[in-house]
Amino acid sequence: MDVLELIRVAWSSIRVHKMRSFLTILGIMIGVACVITMMTVTAGAQQDIDRQMKEMGSNLMSVRAGSWRGRGGVSSAAGANAVLTVDDAEAIKNEIPEIFAAAPTMSGYAQVVVGNRNWNSSVYGIDEDFLVVRNWGVNEGRLFDPSELSRGARVALIGSTTATELFGEGQVLGQTVRVQNVQFTVVGLLASKGMAAGSSSWDQDSVIMIPLKTARTRLLGRQGVAGNAVERIYITVENEEDMTYVEEEIKKLLHARHRLDIERDAFSVNNMSEWIESRLEQQNTFNSLLSVIAAVSLIVGGIGIMNIMLVSVTERTREIGLRMAVGARNSDIMQQFLVEAIALCIAGGILGIVLAIGVSTGSSYLAGWPIYFQWWVLVMAVVFSGVIGVFFGFYPARSAANKDPIEALRTE
């Protein structure tokens, strides 16, 4: 019997029992969907991490007053008497040789107004090192010059989202924007950063940056931060291997400068390596859960295929006897039932791919998970489904082929 005839006979048998065939492949479908979803989300997360590392650098650190409490944020009680200053940033840069740059910053949130248009945007007060440590540049215009930074000039760099919302497709450079009734002249359009890694709501391009001194004296200082105090210090380390050592040195230096007992843990130091490790741990936990679900579903689906095929062999015993009586060989019978099992599993795999695409796309839309479809994963899913069909369909096919034709014909 040729291959096309085997496929035609197998398809005819599957069509006769549509509901039973669908229920039979359900386990395979769920298992394949879990595997593809896991691979898609994992690949997307890895690309997201790679993008974040490329944008910010894996050697980036940030320091702020207070002790870090994970998702709860920073505990102000631990660092209630500790305030970071511009001088702290200078000391960190000058006294720890492993550090490449240290950028003191302040940040807030404000409404930016141009004529009758307005847009709520993040506001950053920055110095000359901020864009260096954040690996950020400008697409148009220029950066702040030293005199603008030192005198607290009313100039601004704006992100692409803020620019689009306020100016549309019009000219940006040289335009005037108003932030809390303070006028600023736009001197540069920042390069696009997109959404922050792992977030579907934090648009990094919805931002306006002004000189740090301007922020302290005209905007953010009015919110309770005065003098040369800053909210955070961003730091880049020369070599990623020194991150742990540098973190300890920063804590020692800051506690010594502020005459605080280091046991108080008055300053928190976080680095990209910790963030990446945390993301990978979360991803691995998610992958492990999906792997268990996928494995169980595939095994249950395979057993279901085998059981249904055994039932089918029993129901079609007389048919098997008739085929043998008219000249069908044992190998023909075995091939027929094996092809049916493989066809069921491949159908389950294809439906699993469709389900996985839907689930992955929905998860990306609702939860903001990054996804990345790899064509080889889809191909391997179909191939693996066929392998499951061979493995779990072999025993029922052999049972059908080994039936005695005389006994089979006697079956009612």
Instruction: Give one DSSP letter per residue of 328-384, joined into a string.
Output: --HHHHHHHHHHHHHHHHHHHHHHHHHHHHHHHHHHHHHH-------HHHHHHHHHH
Domain annotation covers residue 248 = no
Residues 215 and 335 in one domain: no
Show which of 235, 263, 298 is a domain's final residue: 235
Is 340 in contact with 21 (CB distance < 8 Å)? no
Residue 2: band (very low, low, confident or very high) from pLDDT cuts 50, 70, 90: low
Confidence of residue 197 (pLDDT cuts 50, 70, 90): low
pLDDT for res 58: 65
pLDDT category at 78 given cuts 50, 70, 90 is very low
pLDDT bin (cut points 50, 70, 90) of residue 67 is: low
pTM, two decimals, is 0.63
Instruction: Give the range with max mean pLDDT: 65-79, 103-117, 311-325.
Output: 103-117
CA distances from 106 to 22, 109, 307 (A): 60, 11, 66
- How far apart CA 185 and CA 157 sit, in angstroms, is 9
The pLDDT, as a whole number, for residue 142 is: 94
Positive or negative, the CA dihedral 114, 117, 118, 119 is: negative
| CB distance 157 to 209 below 8 Å | yes
Sign of the torsion angle spanned by Cα atoms 310, 316, 321, 325 = negative
Residues 216 and 303 in one domain: no
Query: Which structural domain range is residue 110 located in?
Result: 106-235
Is 68 inside a domain boundary? no
Where does the pLDDT of residue 210 fall: very low under 50, low under 70, confident under 90, or very high at 90 and above?
very high
Q: Residue 143 pLDDT > 90, yes or no?
A: yes
Predicted local distance difference test score (pLDDT) of residue 222: 46
In a domain, 387, yes or no: yes
Nearest alpha-carbon partner for 349 in 19, 36, 44: 36
Classify residue 67: in a domain, yes or no.
no
Rounded to the nearest 10 degrees, the angle between the axes of helix 272-315 and helix 317-325 is 70
Residue linked to tokens 């006897």: 321
SS3 84: coil
Q: How far apart are CA 382 and CA 65, in angstroms?
A: 54
Examine residue 128 and state whether it is found in any structural domain, yes or no: yes
Question: Are residues 402 and 309 part of one domain?
Answer: yes
Same domain, 282 and 391: yes
Half-sphere exposure of 361 (CA within 13 A, CB side): 6
225 and 282 together in one domain? no
30 and 121 co-located in one domain: no
- Beta strand 207-211 with 117-126 is parallel
**Residues 334, 386 within the same domain:** yes
pLDDT at 211 over 90: yes
Coil, strand or helix at 226: coil
Exposed/middle/buried for residue 127 (C-beta within 10 Å: 0-12, 13-18, 19+): buried
Q: Which of these three, 182, 200, 235, is where a domain ends?
A: 235
Average pLDDT over residues 105-113: 92
pLDDT value at 65 more than 60: yes
Does some domain include residue 245?
A: no
> Is the pLDDT confidence value at 79 over 50?
no
Percent of the chain with pLDDT over 70: 87
pLDDT value at 383 more than 80: yes
User: Are 305 and 201 contained in the same domain?
Assistant: no
Tell me how far apart the alpha carbons of residues 333 and 310 are, in angstroms, rounded to a whole number.
14
Distant-in-sequence, close-in-space partners of 70: CB < 8 Å, separation ≥ 6: none
Q: How many residues does the chain have?
A: 412
Distance between CA atoms of residues 169 and 165, nearest Å = 9
Residue 78 falls inside a structural domain: no
Residue 241: count other Cβ atoms within 10 Å of its Cβ. Answer: 11
pLDDT band at 286 (very low <50, low <70, confident <90, very high): confident
User: According to the model, what pLDDT value does residue 368 have?
Assistant: 67
Rg, C-alpha atoms of the chain: 32
Which of 258, 214, 209 lies closest to 234 in space, CA to CA?
209
For 195-222, give the DSSP string.
Answer: BPTT-SS-BTTSEEEEEHHHIIIIIGGG
Residue corresponding to tokens 């000039």: 153
- Between CA 359 and CA 28 the distance in angstroms is 16
Dihedral of the CA atoms 129, 130, 133, 134 (nearest 10)?
-150
Number of folded domains that form the chain = 2
Amino acid letter, residue 184: F
Dihedral, CA of residue 28, residue 31, residue 37 and residue 38, to nearest 10: -150
pLDDT by residue (tens digit) across 302-323?
Answer: 888 888 888 888 888 888 888 8
Q: Looking at 203, 235, 267, which one is the last position of a domain?
A: 235
Q: What per-residue confidence (pLDDT) applies to 77?
A: 43
